[in-house]
Amino acid sequence: MDVAGTHTLTRAAKASGLRHELYPYSGEAQFLSGALSFIEEALAADEVVLVSVPERRERALRAALPAPDPRVVFMDTSGLGRNPARLIPAWQRWTAEWAGKGRPVRGIGEAGWDGRSAAEITELRYHEWLLNVAFTASPAWWLLCPCDTAAIGAGTLREIARCHPFMFQEGVHRGHAAYTAEPFAWDELEPAPGPLEEFSYGRGDLAAVRDVVAARAAPHGLRGERLRETLVAVTEAATNSVVHGGGHGTLRVWAWRGTFVCEFRDEGVMTDPMAGRRLPEARSLGGRGLWLIHQLCDLVQIRSAPGAGTVVRLHIDLDPS
């Protein structure tokens, strides 16, 4: 395949893995033009199209489709919340379901970039990069990623473009020259605000970790079921430090801009970019800690490198709405 030239794929099953394609657009009319064209191509090849886009785009797309078609399936991802780490497992479930039925699959996936914090934007960029890793050995499918250029800064759009091997523009599918297979370039974590009290923990200190978090959470109104979920998540994070991070770690806790943050630092190094983002195997007893953390927290940031150790930040929204 010549990734620098024009390429048309009539059936997703002609290759293995993911065809990951960026579609930059401006305004609803351009979104509809590209999305409808993509859907028409899929239906002409008798492929199923799984559509996951923001609610306002879904309404417009439903209204623009000439007629309902069972091969066009709209997927509601609102229940996944704003944590991008939950998106890949959802795509894995949906694509596996349709692949099991012997149907070639396409997808339209737009996570929604407007209104995101800087931390969320970084994790969304990582999600786009990680899609190429997650589906390398999967049954073949084609994912179109619409990006509203009016809602995304020019710098962020350039970084997103580097994650997509293909581009859909002016009605043409082609290889994307801006794509790079280099390791993901992380943004630095935002500094924690103000002076912080740190708590060092080790084996036997999990109850103390929970007590520290509960005491710091109370003044910010974090209580009930949401507090219980948070305590489960911090227990898993501290356990990972004890088991995989040298037997000890450091906890820092703060609240900032409507978010309660628990940060764990240890000497371990994570080498698996998909850690916590795979569906746990039913019979597997291990590998569930990070998965559970991602399900319980509104955002999780992980930075890990040899010589620097690992930092895991858990973000919990203080306003449930």
- pLDDT tens-place string over residues 164-184: 999 999 899 999 999 998 888
For residues 8-33, average pLDDT: 77
User: In this model, does residue 282 exceed pLDDT 80?
Assistant: no
- Helix H or strand E segment including 72: strand 72-74
Q: Each residue of 153-181: b (16+ CB within 10 Å) or e? A: eeebbebbbbbbbbbbeeeebbbbeebee
Token duo for residue 125: 């960029």
CB 80 within 8 A of CB 86: yes
For residues 279-298, average pLDDT: 82
Q: How far apart, in whole angstroms, are the C-alpha atoms of residue 33 and residue 171?
A: 9
12-175 falls under which CATH superfamily? P-loop containing nucleotide triphosphate hydrolases (3.40.50.300)
pLDDT of residue 12: 38
pLDDT of residue 10: 36
Of 65, 169, 151, which Cα lies nearest the Cα of 110? Answer: 151
Residue 192: half-sphere exposure toward Cβ, Cα within 13 Å: 19
DSSP secondary structure code for residue 271 in this structure: -
CB 298 within 8 A of CB 81: yes
Q: Which residues contact 247 (CB under 8 A, 6 or more apart)?
A: 202, 203, 241
Distance of CA 80 to the CA centre of its chain: 10
Q: How far apart, in whole angstroms, are the C-alpha atoms of residue 226 and residue 231?
A: 9
- What fold does the segment set 198-317 form as a domain? Heat Shock Protein 90 (3.30.565)
For residues 151-169, average pLDDT: 92
- Helix H or strand E segment including 302: strand 299-305
Q: How many helices (H) and strands (E) does the chain have?
A: 8, 12
pLDDT of residue 8: 36
Q: How far apart, in whole angstroms, are the C-alpha atoms of residue 91 and residue 192?
A: 33
For residues 17-42, average pLDDT: 95
For residues 240-252, average pLDDT: 96
CB 140 within 8 A of CB 13: yes
State the span(s) of the chain assigned CATH 3.30.565.10: 198-317
State the span(s) of the chain assigned CATH 3.40.50.300: 12-175
